[in-house]
């Protein structure tokens, strides 16, 4: 609050009273003072004194002070305001306020009284800057506009900076309101500085919602921040609101239209329509609706993702219509990377760069590039090809005369932003020349040429560094650098020397600047043949005496091209003796041999090569050869493509060493090649492209002395040993019962392919075409192997063999290079005579021993053997069973043998009784069994069925016996053959055990008592069988001998011999051999059992 004090004129007594009060009681004085103050206030109010002085400022230059007038003050009252301590500092005012200049800091006394009214009191106030409020004037918005395409509001106002006395900071607060309900969506501050003059300020704000979607209003206020002002500082009042005006378009309903935004941004779309919007979606995604004024709606998309080249659709759907727009989402241009500017010809600068990350924007939204040069102020734009296959980012900038330093800025811009990259270059240091062309070569001499070429460009102010590549056949590539001064006509000449005569060279050129930035690309190759020169050396020569020792053959090698220096036309061969030289012959090329007929004197042979320019220096060689009696043939194996030969140093060798080698398999003279080495050498590696593995070569080391050459060493060797390609040819010289002698031949050197180290001889038992040697090196136990390392041995005897046995023989040779192929043969040893004798004697001895032992055993067991295998057979002539009664055959003058003729019975009577088996008898012929004595029991008699049968007697006259046997009818009589012995009665035990006794010859069928209906059916089937079967019941036969105990001791009256016999025949009627055949009851089978009698019933 403002400190205000009101002072009135007081009487002197009151002052004295006040003095006395201070000396008296303090409490009484305080009460008196309060009373006097209240009385003064009441009196002032009554008299109309001003009160409540307040001051504000809006520009720090003038203070606007106001006060409250008394209630008794009338119209037209004039106030006088005076400021003490200042001359002419009184102001008059008819209002209750006045403007005074800003006061200095500190307290100031202000008096206000009624002018022309002396009865009113005077009001005094103490005024300090701290009690003054700084309130700026209300800002005024000069202009408010909007860019609807970018949803940006542009604000313009005047800061009225001229009203302030000095520079100070002003803070502006701007508020943006949206929709009809004036919802504040943005409140921001903006700082400016005033400097004593009026300034129009601009401020822009981009809305997150299209401006077409809702009403937007803007207001502004300010706050002056003066650090030197100590009073109160307050915000100004808000300016009147201004709105964004937009005229609706009947066609466009969705905003924004075709917007390009940054990936990851948030964006709002709205639909301005009078219809109710049902749904909205972006792409394939539905979005919630945000309701605005009326039926307007909006959707908000957060963190939007990159769109396709064709954009992303945004669709709003109503009941009757569909409204939409397209949005393009991408990236701002990346900073151009790897920016490089260079020149090809110092006429034009080409700048290239890498655009960096793709923006995902195409077409009119794609990135545009501009190259700006700051020194010249010129720029060029990048023109993009509509449909490039391989888009090249480069720009061409025309160089300016006399300008070497260039400062380029490459700007990249698209709807989402811009970026730039700068580069500062000295163009003379960034020269990348083009390819040299039009290369030409001219001769200077046989070892130098002049090389010229064309290089496009203006290089007159710099020097060029060019590189010449020189190639020749079978030689290392050579590079030569030359520095030449640039010229304007772009033609350059360079001399190239130190070449070889008569040599084909290939030249290539590339160039750069002396400061070097990049080499140009290589030019095309240019081939050129230099001119000829005199041969630089004589041919390399050697000599050999012919086999008869009468002629000396001179050999020489053709000169290399770098020594021939041209085409060799001929060779001149001459010899000298005692300093007398004689030209013998001139040999044309390509012949490299000459044969001279010389004696054994020491001649010096010279060979000179000639070309079109001149002759070479002579090559000399002595004809004398010093003999060496102590010479041995050595062996050596090479390494890789060559072979190493060593020898001891010999000071007597004054000239040089010559190593000659040849293929050992060739015919004499053995000459393939030679090599000369200095006399101080002790070793040499012989290499040749003609060396082949597995080929034997002969090496000869010659040492040169003043009087001639001497053969020092003779060596045979291989560059590489291989396995033999053929097997040794071997034959069998001799065979015996226990050994084989084998002999083989040497393998030819050409097929050996290495130094022979031995033979491997394999042998095993085996027949031809059935046995093969497999796994010879696997150590099989059935294969015998002999390793023969004595190379002089050519035979081998294989001992400890088996006689008359086939052996498989295999022979293989081997070297250090491997095992050769095998050759095999099969050999059978001779038969062993001792073994044959032993093989014969042993079986004979065994047979004799077995025979003796068998004879002894048979002699000791002769009775048993006779009884078992050879029993006594009775004589049929003594058989009484063949003695028949006369009455049986009466009426027939001749009896014939029984024949198997079918017959029909005269009468068959079947008597059926209640007994087990009925008895059937013949009424005409009664069997002796039917007339058995009555001591036989009735039950036994009833247990038999006797069929007596005799066919009618048929008499037929036959002229001879042969006709009777053939098929004539004869009289057949069926009789019973009974024992000649008197029948004896059986014991009861035997009768019980043998209910059916034996019988003699009984053609009648015997049916056992225990027969069943099934047996009768079986008998019916038996009767139907074809043939003659008088022995119907073979089970009743008694197969025992007549002299067996069962026969002789039996008491039975029915005993038979065994098989029945016919009347006038001794042949046996053998029972059939089936499962029902009777088994012998004796201890063993005997053939004589068929002749035994059977007891009759």
Q: Looking only at Cα atoms, what is the longest distance across the chain?
A: 232
CA distance 431 to 511: 10
pLDDT value, residue 249:
67
User: Cα dist. 400→376, 382, 545 in Å?
Assistant: 8, 20, 84
335, 281 Cβ separation under 8 angstroms: no
Q: Could you give the angle at the alpha carbon of 1067 between the alpha carbons of 1061 and 1073, nearest 5°?
A: 85
Smallest CA-to-CA distance from 409 within 493, 353, 488 is with 353
CA distance 266 to 209: 10
Nearest to 1097 by CA among 934, 929, 935, 945: 929
Residue 42: predicted pLDDT: 54
Instruction: Provide the token pair at 1.
Output: 């609050």
Question: Whole-angstrom Cα distance, residue 374 to residue 971?
Answer: 166
Peptide bond into 590 cis (omega under 30): yes
| 860 φ/ψ angles, rounded to the nearest 5 degrees | -70, -25
Residue 243 phi/psi, 5° resolution? -105, 155
Can you state the angle between helices 862-869 and 833-860, rounded to 10 degrees? 80
Q: Which residues contact 15 (CB under 8 A, 6 or more apart)?
A: none
Helix (H) or strand (E) holding 833: helix 833-860
How far, in Å, CA of 612 to CA of 882, rounded? 149
In the three-class reduction of DSSP (H, G, I as helix; E, B as strand; rest coil), residue 750 is classed as: helix
Q: Can you state the angle between helices 12-23 and 26-47, rounded to 10 degrees?
A: 150
Q: List the beta bridge partners of residue 381.
A: 370
Is residue 159 within 8 Å of 198, Cβ to Cβ? yes
What's the distance, Cα to Cα, between the start and end of the chain in Å?
181
Tokens at 366, concatenated: 């794609």
CA 76 to chain CA centroid, nearest Å = 112
Place of tokens 């010859």: 1001
Enter the tokens of residue 101.
């200049």
3-state secondary structure of 1045: helix
Cα–Cα distance between 944 and 933 in angstroms, integer?
15
Specify whether the CB–CB gap between 199 and 163 falls below 8 A.
Answer: no
At 482-520, the pLDDT tens digits run 999 988 778 899 999 999 999 999 999 999 999 999 999
pLDDT tens string 753-782: 999 999 999 988 887 765 454 555 555 677
Nearby residues of 271 by Cβ (< 8 Å), 6 or more positions away: 253, 254, 277, 280, 296, 297, 298, 316, 323
3-state secondary structure of 965: helix
Q: How many CB atoms lie within 10 A of CB 251?
A: 5
Using CB atoms within 10 Å of the CB of residue 724, give its burial: 0 to 12 exposed, 13 to 18 middle, 19+ buried: buried
Residues of the chain predicted below pLDDT 70: 1-25, 39-48, 71-76, 85-88, 116-121, 249-252, 385-391, 583, 665-671, 769-780, 877-1097
The span from the CA of 294 to the CA of 214, in Å, is: 10
Report the C-alpha gap between 333 and 417 in whole angstroms. 7
Sign of the alpha-carbon torsion through 413, 418, 419, 422: positive
Q: Which residues contact 385 (CB under 8 A, 6 or more apart)?
A: 391
Alpha-carbon gap, residue 1003 to 627, rounded angstroms: 133
Closest alpha carbon to 397 in 431, 426, 370, 429: 370
């Amino acid at each position: 609050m403002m400190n205000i004090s009101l002072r009135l004129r007081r009487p002197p007594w009151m002052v004295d009273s006040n003095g006395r009060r201070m000396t008296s009681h303090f409490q009484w004085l305080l009460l008196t003072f309060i009373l006097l103050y209240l009385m003064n206030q009441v009196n002032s109010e009554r008299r109309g004194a001003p009160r409540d002085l307040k001051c504000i400022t809006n520009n720090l230059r003038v203070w606007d002070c106001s006060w409250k007038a008394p209630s008794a003050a009338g119209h037209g009252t004039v106030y006088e305001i005076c400021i003490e301590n200042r001359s002419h500092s009184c102001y008059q005012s008819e209002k209750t306020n006045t403007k005074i200049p800003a006061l200095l800091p500190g307290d100031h006394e202000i008096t206000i009284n009624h002018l022309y009214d002396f009865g009113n009191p005077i009001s005094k106030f103490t005024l300090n800057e701290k009690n003054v409020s700084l309130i700026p004037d209300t800002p005024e918005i000069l202009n408010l506009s909007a860019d609807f395409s970018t949803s940006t509001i542009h604000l313009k106002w005047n800061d009225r900076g001229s009203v302030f006395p000095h520079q100070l900071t002003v803070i502006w607060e701007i508020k943006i309101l949206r929709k009809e309900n004036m919802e504040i969506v943005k409140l921001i501050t903006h700082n400016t500085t005033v400097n004593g003059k009026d300034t129009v300020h601009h401020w822009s704000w981009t809305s997150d919602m299209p401006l077409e979607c809702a009403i937007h209003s803007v207001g502004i206020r300010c706050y002056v921040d003066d650090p030197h002002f100590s009073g109160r500082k307050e915000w100004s009042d808000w300016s009147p609101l201004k709105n964004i005006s937009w005229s609706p378009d009947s066609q466009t309903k969705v905003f924004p239209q075709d917007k390009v935004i940054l990936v990851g941004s948030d964006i709002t779309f709205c639909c301005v329509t009078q219809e109710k919007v049902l749904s909205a979606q972006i792409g394939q995604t539905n979005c919630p609706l945000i309701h605005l004024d009326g039926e307007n709606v909006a959707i908000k998309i957060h963190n939007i993702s990159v769109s396709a080249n064709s954009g992303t659709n945004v669709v709003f759907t109503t009941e009757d219509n569909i409204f939409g727009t397209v949005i393009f989402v991408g990236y701002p241009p990346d900073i151009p990377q790897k920016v490089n500017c260079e020149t090809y010809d110092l006429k034009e600068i080409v700048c290239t760069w890498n655009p960096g990350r793709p923006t995902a924007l195409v077409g009119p939204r794609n990135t545009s590039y501009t190259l700006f040069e700051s020194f010249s102020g010129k720029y060029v734009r990048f023109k993009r090809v509509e449909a490039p296959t391989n888009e090249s980012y480069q720009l061409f900038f025309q160089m300016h005369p006399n300008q070497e330093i260039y400062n380029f800025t490459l700007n990249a811009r698209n709807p989402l932003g811009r970026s730039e990259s700068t580069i500062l270059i000295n163009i003379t240091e960034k020269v990348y020349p083009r390819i040299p062309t039009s290369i030409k070569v001219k001769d200077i001499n046989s070892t130098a040429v002049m090389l010229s070429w064309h290089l496009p460009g203006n290089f007159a102010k710099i020097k060029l560094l060019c590189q010449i590549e020189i190639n020749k056949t079978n030689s290392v590539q050579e590079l030569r650098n030359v520095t030449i001064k640039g010229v304007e006509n772009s033609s350059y000449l360079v001399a190239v020397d130190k070449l070889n005569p008569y040599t084909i060279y290939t030249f290539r050129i590339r160039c750069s600047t002396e400061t070097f930035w990049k080499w140009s690309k290589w030019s095309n190759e240019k081939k050129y043949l230099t001119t000829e020169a005199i041969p630089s050396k004589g041919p390399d020569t050697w000599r050999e005496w012919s086999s008869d020792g009468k002629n000396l053959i001179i050999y020489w090698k053709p000169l290399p091209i770098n020594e021939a220096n041209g085409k060799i036309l001929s060779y001149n061969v001459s010899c000298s003796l005692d300093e007398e030289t004689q030209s013998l012959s001139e040999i044309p090329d390509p012949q490299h041999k000459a044969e001279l007929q010389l004696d054994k004197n020491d001649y010096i042979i010279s060979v000179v090569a000639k070309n079109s320019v001149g002759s070479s220096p002579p090559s000399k060689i002595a004809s004398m050869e010093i003999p060496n009696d102590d010479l041995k043939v050595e062996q050596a194996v090479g390494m890789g493509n060559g072979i190493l030969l060593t020898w001891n140093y010999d000071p007597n060798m004054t000239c040089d060493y010559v190593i000659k080698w040849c293929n050992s398999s060739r015919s004499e003279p053995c000459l393939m090649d030679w090599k000369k080495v200095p006399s101080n050498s002790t070793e040499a590696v012989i290499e040749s492209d003609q060396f082949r593995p597995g080929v034997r070569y002969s090496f000869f080391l010659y040492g040169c002395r003043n009087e001639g050459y001497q053969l020092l060493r003779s060596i045979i060797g291989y560059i590489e040993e291989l396995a033999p390609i053929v097997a040794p040819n071997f034959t069998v010289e001799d065979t015996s019962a226990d050994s084989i002698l084998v002999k083989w031949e040497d393998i030819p050197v050409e097929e050996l392919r290495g130094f022979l180290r031995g033979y491997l001889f394999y042998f095993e038992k085996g027949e031809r075409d059935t046995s093969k040697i497999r796994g010879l090196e696997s150590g099989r136990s059935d294969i015998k192997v002999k390793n023969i390392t004595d190379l002089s041995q050519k035979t081998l005897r294989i001992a400890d063999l088996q006689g008359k046995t086939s052996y498989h023989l295999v022979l293989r040779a081997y070297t250090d290079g491997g095992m050769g192929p095998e050759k095999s043969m099969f050999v059978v040893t001779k038969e062993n005579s001792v073994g044959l004798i032993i093989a014969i004697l042993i079986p004979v001895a065994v047979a004799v021993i077995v025979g003796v032992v068998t004879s002894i055993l048979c002699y000791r067991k002769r009775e048993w053997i006779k009884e078992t295998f050879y029993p006594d057979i009775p004589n049929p002539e003594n058989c009484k069973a063949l003695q028949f009664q006369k009455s049986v055959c009466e009426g027939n003058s001749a009896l014939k043998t029984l024949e198997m003729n079918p017959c029909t019975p005269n009468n068959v009577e079947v008597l059926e009784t209640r007994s087990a088996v009925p008895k059937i008898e013949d009424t005409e012929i009664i069997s002796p069994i039917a007339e058995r004595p009555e001591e036989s029991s009735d039950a036994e008699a009833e247990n038999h069925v006797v069929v007596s049968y005799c066919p009618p007697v048929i008499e037929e006259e036959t002229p001879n016996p042969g006709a009777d046997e053939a098929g004539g009818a004869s009289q057949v009589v069926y009789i019973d053959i009974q024992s000649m012995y008197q029948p004896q009665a059986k014991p009861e035990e035997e009768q019980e055990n043998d209910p059916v006794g034996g019988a003699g010859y009984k053609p009648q069928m015997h049916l056992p008592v225990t027969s069943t209906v099934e047996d009768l059916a079986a008998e019916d089937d038996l009767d139907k069988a074809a043939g003659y079967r008088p022995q119907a019941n073979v089970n009743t036969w008694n197969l025992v001998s007549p002299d067996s105990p069962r026969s002789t001791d039996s008491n039975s009256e029915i005993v038979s011999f065994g098989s029945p016999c016919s009347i006038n025949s001794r042949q046996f009627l053998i029972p059939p051999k089936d499962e029902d055949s009777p088994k012998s009851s004796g201890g063993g089978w005997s053939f004589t059992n068929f002749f035994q009698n059977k007891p009759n019933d």
